[in-house]
Amino acid sequence: MPWITSPKVEGIASRQAHTDLPTNTYERELGKEGFYGPASQMYHRHPPTSWLTVEGHLRPHAFDTKKLALLGSCPWDAHLLFSNANTQIRFMKLASDMDHLVRNADGDELMFVHQGMGELFCDYGHLSFSEGDYVMLPRGTMWRMDVQAPVSALMIEATHDSYRLPEKGLVGHHALFDPAILATPKINDAFIGQQNEAQWRVVVKKGNHLSTITYAFNPLDAVGWHGSLMPVRLNWRDIRPLMSHRYHLPPSAHTTFTTSRFVVCTFVPRPFETDPNALNVPFFHSNDDYDELIFYHAGQFFSRDHIYPGMMTLHPSGIPHGPHPKALQNADKKRGTMTDEVAVMIDTRDTLEISQQAETIEWAGYVDSWK
């Protein structure tokens, strides 16, 4: 069904979004369907985040994953930080090889490797991984990791769902990254070499309950396969971001993976906007359809203050959010330079619940950092 739309301009306003802002105003976008639906831009005399206090569930949150303890050698031991009916977001730390296999029967698993490197063995073969890699494992895939350097990774489950690539529309199939860059597991010497007749366990997660299946042999015993369903690996360095020197693109332009109820976006280094009349920091927005969760992987985060690699921020839907005051003050100094940040953003249609474990690593003062 079509949206009810009738574009208008009222009062003192820019004729184009994110450019030529009226003097001494701050732009705030109100949108539907994230950044995909109809939207309006408001022009305010004060930053929409200049609150004195925020009480209740809409308070912005920040968390520090470096404070999480190292747990066992099973991914299902990973700290559950955030969840809703459509996703479970964990942070995994592995210091040694896994001595068993695991399988997620609840949904596709997407891992983003924050630190470390190793070898992944799964139904489909052998795949090396290292810092900065996304590894997507289809629902039901058996897998384990051999650790070459201690691994810390964000785990994003698409509960009862599948990961897909975003529609790229006008910019074409090869924009952002060419699908040919996606690496897949190989039936190689390393994979054949790990096959044996020893006893192996497979720990299966289904409905948040764990079951153990024991075999008298290593069930990763495939000799070949063919088809169109398989794990894939993508490193953030292979992403070539969309950009415009005259317009600040919304986060949706950086979408890497999609599901029916949330999207995963990747922010990577790119040139700042150079047009002196265009915004070159994220615009304030009241995005009332999505919670926004960001994991900060590397670099200096130009729109945030006192946020460092390994931290996460959560901005619930229903409250305006946007750049910190220092980012606004330094915006014009950035023109002609490059951003220096790598971050993973998860926008969820449904409210994310914060676990008790996440509460133990929260920076309570984050809500006051816009003052």
CATH topology of domain 70-236: Jelly Rolls (2.60.120)
Mean pLDDT of 12-39: 90
Point out the annotated binding site.
Answer: 285, 291, 321
pLDDT higher than threshold 80 for residue 77: yes
- pLDDT of 287 > 90? The answer is no
* Catalytic sites, residue numbers: 248
Strands 79-84 and 87-94, sheet pairing: antiparallel
pLDDT-above-70 percentage for the chain? 100
Is the per-residue pLDDT at 1 higher than 90?
no
Percent of the chain with pLDDT over 90: 79
Residue 222 burial by Cβ neighbours in a 10 Å radius (0-12, 13-18, 19+)? middle
pTM: 0.95
Amino acid 120: pLDDT: 98
Fold agreement between 49-62+240-368 and 70-236: yes
Q: Which residues are annotated as a binding site for Fe cation?
A: 285, 291, 321
Q: What is the mean pLDDT of residues 11-34?
A: 91
pLDDT at 116: 97
Start-to-end CA distance of the chain, whole Å, equals: 42
Q: Binding site for homogentisate: residue ranges?
A: 321
The CATH fold assigned to 49-62+240-368 is Jelly Rolls (2.60.120)
Domain range annotation of the chain: 49-62+240-368, 70-236
Q: Which of the residue ranges 49-63, 228-242, 269-283, 304-318 has the most confident prediction, judged by mean pLDDT?
A: 228-242
Average pLDDT for residues 204-214, to the nearest whole number? 97
pLDDT at residue 73, rounded to an integer? 86
Mean pLDDT of 98-116: 98
What pLDDT does 241 receive?
95
Q: What is the pLDDT of residue 36?
A: 81
